[in-house]
Amino acid sequence: MNGMSLKKQQRRTSSKIQTSLLTLDLFSGAGGITEGFRQAGYKCLYGNDCMPEAIETFSLNHPKAWADPRDIEEVKPAHIRSRLDLKRGTLDILVGGPPCQGFSINAPERFLHDSRNKLFKDYVRFLEEFEPKTFLFENVPGLLSLANGKVYRQIVLEFERLGYHVTTRILFAAHYGVPQERWRLIILGSKFSSIMPPPPTHYATGRTNFRGGRTLAFHLQPDEKNRLLPAITVQQAIGDLPRLEMGYGAELVSYTATAHSDYARLMRNPVGITFNHLAAKLSRQNSERMKYVKPGGSWRDIPHRLLPKGMKRARKSDHTKRYGRLRYEGLAGTVMAKCDPHWSAVFLPDQDRSLTVREAARFQSFPDSYRFLGSRVSQYEQVGNAVPVLLAKAIALQIRKHLEARGS
């Protein structure tokens, strides 16, 4: 009798693991979080973003989800829930985060009344209507210091008011197999109990020069290098993609070399093609500047006479990534919404050109089958604004464990 009960229990558990958990994605952009959760076995029912090209990309790559291009302030959550035919409390997770430009420590101006900083209230409207079992709210670490922490505290109070156990952590994307120096603030909520953040799987270190960096981020010790996988390097991430000269490439290209790393094999499209691999033409001035920058170098390698006027007054310790050239053996810097050498390291280690959209997407751990639509400027923006897919997947798997442990 006990044996039969155990077998039934095992079958039920197996069935739960195979069942897709249901998600709604707000501020979905091109779908980085959506893709990470999809790879972890979730089913996205609805995605909302008001950037036309981003929601077109989202729709192309997640055709079974309802892609809504309206401004979220115009959306009535009750109508969405009715159309999806979901009872309150049955949605497994609400994911997303408002546009982060108003929170970012890199923004030119940071002030509380930026309209973009009020969009979290729309996120709360969906929480109130759907009452999901869990939620993921993500943003940049700069949110913690905005208005001396007032905005962050208000967000957490709203979540707790709705009956959620809230956990806050700052995660380093490279700890989860993403070949990039990128930090994200994640706020996890559950109706049941606190959700622990996913533990690092890869050994990498990065500077935590922001509020919360000491207490909310994982700080790996040297002896942990032996038990964790090594960080994924620039070479492992993009070394197999077709080499290009400036101004060449295509929206659809075939591979010209075999996959040279486990990461490349993970990213590869099984049908042998990928997308968005065009090398932009640089201005004559930037082409000349690029010649002087060594792998791992930056604007400090460029002769003073060739520097932009503003950079001529900069201190050598400032703007360490500007006009930077990547190192094959290192991590990529944070992928930005603009592929502009004036703002970040976008020069290839051994090719005299800047990153293609596909190479930037590899650094964001988008699979090569993921195609970005719109102008090339828009494609870079979509990639740069996304949450790295493998970081989202690690969070999704952790939440799945949490839900399955409670029989949800």
pLDDT at 314: 87
CA 35 to chain centre: 10
Q: What is the mean pLDDT of residues 339-346?
A: 95
Which tokens belong to 345? 């390291």
In eight-state DSSP terms, residue 102 is: T
Residues 186 and 211 in one domain: yes
**Residue scoring higher pLDDT (16 or 215):** 215
Residues 199 and 142 in one domain: yes
CB 143, CB 151: distance < 8 Å: yes
Measured from the Cβ of residue 25, the count of other Cβ atoms closer than 10 Å reads: 28
In eight-state DSSP terms, residue 63 is: T
Whether the predicted pLDDT of 117 surpasses 70: no
Residues 324 and 401 in one domain: no
Residue 5 lies in a domain: no
Residues 264 and 280 in one domain: yes
Residues 256 and 359 in one domain: yes
- Helix, strand, or coil (residue 86): coil
CB 112, CB 146: distance < 8 Å: yes
pLDDT band at 111 (very low <50, low <70, confident <90, very high): very low
> How large a percentage of the chain has pLDDT more than 90?
82
> How many CA within 13 A on the CB side of residue 44?
29
Give φ, ψ of 403 to 5 degrees: -70, -40
> CATH number for the domain including 57?
3.40.50.150
pTM for this predicted structure: 0.92
- Helix, strand, or coil (residue 108): coil
- Helix, strand, or coil (residue 176): helix
Q: What is the mean pLDDT of residues 12-32?
A: 78
pLDDT at 140: 92
Residue 8 lies in a domain: no
Average pLDDT, the chain: 92
How are strands ordered across the β-sheet holding 165-172? 66-68, 42-48, 21-26, 93-96, 134-139, 183-190, 165-172
pLDDT band at 373 (very low <50, low <70, confident <90, very high): very high
Residue 13 lies in a domain: no
Measured from the Cβ of residue 144, the count of other Cβ atoms closer than 10 Å reads: 22
Residue 75 lies in a domain: yes
Which tokens belong to 21? 């958990």
pLDDT in tens, 197-215: 999 999 999 999 999 999 9
Residues with a catalytic annotation lie at: 100
* Range of the structural domain that residue 338 is part of: 234-308+318-385
pLDDT band at 391 (very low <50, low <70, confident <90, very high): very high
Sequence-ordered list of residues with C-beta below 8 angstroms from that of 91, at least 6 positions apart, any chain: 22, 23, 24, 130, 131, 132, 133
Q: What is the mean pLDDT of residues 28-36?
A: 98
CA 271 to chain centre: 25
Distance CA 112, CA 372 (A): 33
Sequence-ordered list of residues with C-beta below 8 angstroms from that of 82, at least 6 positions apart, any chain: none
CB 146, CB 204: distance < 8 Å: no
pLDDT at 10: 42
pLDDT band at 102 (very low <50, low <70, confident <90, very high): low
Residues 246 and 206 in one domain: no
pLDDT at 14: 41
Whether the predicted pLDDT of 277 surpasses 60: yes
Distances (CA, A) of 97 to 100, 101, 103, 202, 269: 8, 11, 11, 25, 29
Residues 206 and 271 in one domain: no
> CATH number for the domain including 274?
3.90.120.10
Residue 192 lies in a domain: yes
Residues 351 and 398 in one domain: no
Residue 7 lies in a domain: no
Dihedral of the CA atoms 310, 180, 263, 352 (nearest 10)? 10
Residues 32 and 99 in one domain: yes
> How many CA within 13 A on the CB side of residue 285?
11
Whether the predicted pLDDT of 5 surpasses 50: no
Residues 213 and 289 in one domain: no
Distance CA 95, CA 374 (A): 24
Number of domains in the chain: 2
Residue 141 lies in a domain: yes
Residues 113 and 252 in one domain: no
Distance CA 159, CA 132 (A): 12
Residues 343 and 399 in one domain: no
pLDDT in tens, 148-187: 888 889 889 999 999 999 999 999 999 999 999 999 999 9
Beta bridge partners of 347: 325, 354
Closest CA to 237 of 314, 313, 294, 180: 180
Distance CA 171, CA 9 (A): 35
Distances (CA, A) of 259 to 217, 301, 357, 368, 385: 33, 33, 19, 12, 27
Residue 46 lies in a domain: yes
